[in-house]
Structure 1
Amino acid sequence: MCNPLDLAYRYQDIRASGSRDGTDHGEPRRSVHREAADPSVVLYRGRFYMFVSMSAGFWHSADLLRWEYRATSKLPALDYAPDVREIDGALHISASRKEANCPFFRSVDPLADDFVEVTPGTFPFWDPNLFQDDDGAVYLYWGCDNKTPLYGVRLSDTFERIGEPEPLIRADVAAHGWEQVGEDLAATPTRPEQDQLLALQGNPYIEGAWMTKHDGTYYLQYAAPATQLNTYADGYYTAPSPLGPFQYSLDSPFSSKPGGFITGAGHGSTFQDRHGNWWHASTMRISVNDDFERRIGIFPAGFDQDGVLFCNQNFADHPFVLPDGPFDPWTPPPWMLLSYKARTTASSAAPGHTPASAVDEDIRTWWAAGGRKPGESLTIDLGVSKTVHAVQVNLADHGLGDIAPPVPEGADWNPQFWRGIFPRHQPAETLVEVSQDGQRWTVVRDHRETDTDAPHAFIVLDAPLRARFVRVTGGRMPFDGVFAVSGVRVFGTGDGVAPRPVRARAGRVDGRTAHIEWDLATAATGYNIRYGRHPQKLYHSWLVYERTSLDLRSLNADAEYWVAVDAFGEGGIAPGETVPLM
């Protein structure tokens, strides 16, 4: 599989006035785009169930690879951050309402749509997470604000509070660098992003609680600083009991993906498969058409011998193999990227959306065809023949707010926004071919005339092929819109050697910030900066292209760190020497 997950994400209809922070009211605007976020995943009776925001249903899977959508009208579709946990042998679902009481629902057979409301609720909450301890006691954790803390409380058998909610954790920007509000300093925020950063006023959102118990310790996970940012991540506190006292982990954030093709890895859930392997699902951001334009990613995770919670997010948007048994979560990717900055040509192009945008390893830029008829195509020239194992085709939502029909039902989101969810999926069909000479083509996947909805199709070839050219042709598109591609990503092996190793030159700028430099490496496509609190535990990473320096702003002020820079290219990965951050 390859992140982001290829799900039939539901389309949203967002209508608003003025700027995104609500400070003025100009011409009305409309965005129609896919959205899914805040994944809550559980393994229940041998099947994985995943509930995500703004989906009017849920996904289920037997293997984490193939997911099937199931709609339901029995759960509130417009309540954000749905939470699902197994309580007393049944699934229980709740979601977010800031001002109204939040109901709880129960199901023993979700595929039969047997959801029933067990209580209308007795109090409001946002970003909930239910947790049942080994003794049967049930707790609720919640919070989503840049002023208030995360709360916890024990619940009765009827899901009423037992006692008053306890404030558990708050933001501490002075000590926790990753909680700082802001983008990677090497990037230039767009105007809407600048508006969002100004609206936050330096105060991060602390949100997305998730509780995991491991070896008698309670791990309270949370997200910060904001879902619209590339630095969106998950950290954690630990405690000897469900309601604390909680101690911050200096290994936070444990889930973080600020670089690469798609960024962000916050507000998620940590769960085990049937083999005992740990996984972490989280929110990945696009945030171009709208702040809440997001996707879902799943990453190998685990606990080390010292009880440190980690995710392997090295090359976290490259392919990885889903195991059919216990496995090493630090297994490297089987193939490397072959298509970065390859020559591209297209049948046509809309202004400002050139073919090169499909190979720049940035999901936030895309090529768009100049017209809406099926048959528009994009061709990637790898330069020379290479061994191709897989192709990922990532589609973009281009100008759909101008052509999509109105959603018949919706609701006010706040005084500035109205939103609705389109009731039906939309086909997103493509034809993918490869060629040695650009004349004779071999079909590797043809979704045309199949009504397939595959916005992030990941195509593993039945057998590797030698190819120089990859061509993607559009069939029917959502709302009969423009064929638009944010990334044609070709994976496999080149015939060259691996890059030479590089050595990091790293120093602490202040308690929360380090400056890292390295030299260019011959045959390197990019660099993966790994860092951590122990030279043998470089659990954090940041993937970059065409850079030889990085200002790392995500450090904890009271912790020591080590860092290594791995050069990577078509010939493989060259691990760098680990050096201390002085």
Structure 2
Amino acid sequence: MVCNPLDLAYRYQDVRTPFAGRSVHREAADPTVVFFRGRYFMFASMTRGFWYSDDLVEWTLQPSERIPAIDYAPDVREVDGALLFTASRRTNGRFFRSVDPLADDFEEVAPSDIAFWDPDTFQDDDGRLYLYWGCSHKEPIQGVELDRATLQRIGEPVPLIAADTETRGWERTGDDYVPVVRRGLMGKVMDAYIGDAPFIEGAYMTRVGDRYHLQYAGPGTQFNTYADGAYVGDRPLGPFVYDPHSPFSSKPGGFITGAGHGSTFQDRHGNWWHVATMRVSVNADFERRIGLFPAGFDDDGVLFCNQNFADYPMQVPDRAFDPWTEASPGWMLLSHRAVAIASSSADGHDPALATDESVRTWWVAGTDRPGEWLQLDLGAEATVHALQVNLADHGLASRAPKRRDLAKATFGKRAVFPDPQPTEVRLELSLDGVEWAVVHDTIGTHEDAPHAFVVLPEARRARYIRVTAGAMPFGGAFAVSGLRVFGLADLPLPGAADVRGERRDPRTASLRWDAVPGVVGYNVRYGLSPDKLYHSWLVYDRTDLEVGSLNAGHPYWFAVDSFNGAGVTPGAAVCLH
């Protein structure tokens, strides 16, 4: 069982920029997962190593100083029986090879004759090797064949993917597809640099049968609309045709948003998964996390991700499974807008911010002393199955020691802290707020679990939940962006929501529905046919939505599912031309 964002020991960054000063925050993004010699290996930006897992649930961080720490968007593929690693850098790329990554035996095997950004290598069934790359608001994603022995290019690069915001709504920049209004000196610099142009980036190739699915990300990692789309062709270098079901990976709503720049892979049982970048982007634009989603290819060969309730608990069966019907355990969110109290609070960071279902807002204790606590009242007894404690990075630039190993970055300089930081918490449940039972306790262990997901061995009845702090990163204050409780409430299912709306323009649909009594929220599903509602948008505290991600020239079907602590009531789909 997992819950997005994945609970990984994300490394802290020391970032210095001439415009924003210093920021210290966790970051990992642009993940590549490969199944190699019976294990899963995940490489992500700014990790100073990589993670490995036997089951996609429990991940162990493996430090490495043999691969570059500051090069962005690491790509790792199995090529000729070994892992081939490369990543983005300010000059021509480099290739590293490993046959035993846990022994940290990476060796640089060749420089590249290409200056690339966001690379992806792909070895076809015939053994031929290809490189795809691109991360630009002006230049297209390109591809070229590589010599397997020298890793140098064969022939000239082929342009493959460019932006088309006039017909693809999801490629438009801005939260909720609303153009960004930038302010200050940095805003002027960015307006002059890119304006409203999206970044088209993060290429990744997957072959299924005789079809080649070239995936890419847009419009920008700092937006809730960060997503992955795809082109399809019958040869590794095309020609490719845009897949109108794009974006196949998109998560613009819910607790944590964004699902772009990732990789699509099969597990040991043949199940497909997509791993992608999710955004926080409060301390800095590149403050990001990693999400894992069930994926697949339908009977028509369309690539999809199941991202319904994509930040709720998800099963990872040790067998082949149906990504639509077997991923969810059926547990619902019980903590949305729960009454919250705390031992103390910093100005502007009251306890209610820990239950508003946004990773971008957080409660902060009034002191940095261990023992500060946050408590929820669910309003009634419920059956609790799991809890998630999401910690925020608050004011750490004034506490963390300054790194001396800074390297040049796109803007300014940065370094990656090599050591884990403690995130010690105690979780307790109670029926009456007087007698408490400890269900999880890491105080004194120095455990680093910034998004701790705790599945109870047996479900428990509870009304009150309390989390207490032990040691925190760099001795900072206890800061919680989400104390989330999952289980089942003693309630009837909500009524159905009837959606209505219109196409405001070829790329945008305006939806609205009447409020359903007793709901927690709504899951808006949509797609190109009633049997392919592959997109979803989780919303709370509202009964309308502007969906700006549509592809012009296609009718779309929309359904609004209502949900509460007892479960989900599907809505009927309507078509908007």
Q: TM-score range by the shorter chain?
A: over 0.9
**For residue 22 of structure 1, what is the aligned residue in structure 2?**
none
**For residue 227 of structure 2, what is the aligned residue in structure 1?**
233
Q: Which amino acid aligns with 1:467?
A: A
In structure 1, runs of 5+ residues without a counterpart are 20-28
What is the rounded CA distance, in whole Å, between the counterparts of 1:385 and 1:64 in structure 2? 33
1:395 and 1:485 in contact (8 A); partners too: yes
1:150 counterpart = 2:141: yes
1:183 and 1:189 in contact (8 A); partners too: no
Q: Which amino acid aligns with 1:9?
A: Y
**For residue 470 of structure 2, what is the aligned residue in structure 1?**
475
1:320 counterpart = 2:321: no
2:562 and 2:568 in contact (8 A); partners too: yes
Within 5 A, what are the aligned runs for 1:266-415? 266-331=260-325, 332-414=328-410
Q: Which amino acid aligns with 1:116?
A: E
**For residue 114 of structure 1, what is the aligned residue in structure 2?**
105
What is the rounded CA distance, in whole Å, between the counterparts of 1:353 and 1:104 in structure 2? 46
1:239 and 1:245 in contact (8 A); partners too: yes
1:134 counterpart = 2:125: yes
What is the rounded CA distance, in whole Å, between the counterparts of 2:97 and 2:159 in structure 1? 27
Residues 428 and 321 from structure 1, CA distance in 2 versus in 1: closer, same or farther, beyond 3 angstroms?
Answer: same
**For residue 210 of structure 2, what is the aligned residue in structure 1?**
216
Partner SS for 1:567: strand
Within 5 A, what are the aligned runs for 1:93-112? 93-98=85-90, 100-112=91-103
What is the rounded CA distance, in whole Å, between the counterparts of 1:278 and 1:453 in structure 2? 29
2:177 and 2:225 in contact (8 A); partners too: no
What is the rounded CA distance, in whole Å, between the counterparts of 1:431 and 1:187 in structure 2? 42
1:185 and 1:551 in contact (8 A); partners too: no
Displacement of 1:186 after TM fit? 8.5
Q: Which amino acid aligns with 1:7?
A: L
1:349 and 1:367 in contact (8 A); partners too: yes
What is the rounded CA distance, in whole Å, between the counterparts of 1:128 and 1:18 in structure 2? 29
**For residue 462 of structure 1, what is the aligned residue in structure 2?**
457
1:39 and 1:51 in contact (8 A); partners too: yes
1:367 and 1:486 in contact (8 A); partners too: yes
Partner SS for 2:170: helix
What is the rounded CA distance, in whole Å, between the counterparts of 1:360 and 1:200 in structure 2? 33
Partner SS for 1:95: strand
What is the rounded CA distance, in whole Å, between the counterparts of 1:107 and 1:153 in structure 2? 23
Residues 237 and 182 from structure 1, CA distance in 2 versus in 1: closer, same or farther, beyond 3 angstroms?
Answer: same
Residues 179 and 412 from structure 1, CA distance in 2 versus in 1: closer, same or farther, beyond 3 angstroms?
Answer: same
In structure 2, runs of 5+ residues without a counterpart are none
1:430 and 1:447 in contact (8 A); partners too: yes
1:174 counterpart = 2:166: yes
1:258 counterpart = 2:231: no
* Number of equivalent positions: 571
Displacement of 1:163 after TM fit? 0.7
**For residue 529 of structure 2, what is the aligned residue in structure 1?**
534
What is the rounded CA distance, in whole Å, between the counterparts of 2:17 and 2:174 in structure 1? 25
What is the rounded CA distance, in whole Å, between the counterparts of 1:242 and 1:32 in structure 2? 41
1:318 and 1:333 in contact (8 A); partners too: no
Q: Which amino acid aligns with 1:6?
A: D
What is the rounded CA distance, in whole Å, between the counterparts of 2:178 and 2:505 in structure 1? 18
**TM (normalized to structure 1)?**
0.96
**For residue 53 of structure 2, what is the aligned residue in structure 1?**
61
Q: Which amino acid aligns with 2:161?
A: I
**For residue 576 of structure 2, what is the aligned residue in structure 1?**
581
Determine which of 458, 481, 504 is the counterpart of 2:499: 504
What is the rounded CA distance, in whole Å, between the counterparts of 1:449 and 1:195 in structure 2? 48
Q: Which amino acid aligns with 1:579?
A: V
Residues 324 and 197 from structure 1, CA distance in 2 versus in 1: closer, same or farther, beyond 3 angstroms?
Answer: farther
1:256 and 1:264 in contact (8 A); partners too: yes
What is the rounded CA distance, in whole Å, between the counterparts of 2:289 and 2:64 in structure 1? 21
2:354 and 2:480 in contact (8 A); partners too: yes
Partner SS for 1:184: helix
**For residue 79 of structure 1, what is the aligned residue in structure 2?**
71
What is the rounded CA distance, in whole Å, between the counterparts of 2:195 and 2:73 in structure 1? 24
Partner SS for 1:5: coil
Identity percentage of aligned residues: 60
What is the rounded CA distance, in whole Å, between the counterparts of 1:560 and 1:242 in structure 2? 30
Determine which of 37, 62, 76 is the counterpart of 1:45: 37
Residues 370 and 540 from structure 1, CA distance in 2 versus in 1: closer, same or farther, beyond 3 angstroms?
Answer: same
1:490 counterpart = 2:482: no
Residues 196 and 176 from structure 1, CA distance in 2 versus in 1: closer, same or farther, beyond 3 angstroms?
Answer: farther
After superposing the two structures, state which structure 1 stretch, 421-430 or 308-317, moved more.
421-430
What is the rounded CA distance, in whole Å, between the counterparts of 1:129 and 1:155 in structure 2? 12
What is the rounded CA distance, in whole Å, between the counterparts of 1:309 and 1:182 in structure 2? 25
Partner SS for 2:102: helix
Partner SS for 1:178: helix
Q: Which amino acid aligns with 1:250?
A: P
Displacement of 1:408 after TM fit? 2.5
Determine which of 533, 541, 547 is the counterpart of 1:546: 541
What is the rounded CA distance, in whole Å, between the counterparts of 1:436 and 1:173 in structure 2? 53
What is the rounded CA distance, in whole Å, between the counterparts of 1:151 and 1:283 in structure 2? 22
1:499 and 1:567 in contact (8 A); partners too: yes
**TM (normalized to structure 2)?**
0.97
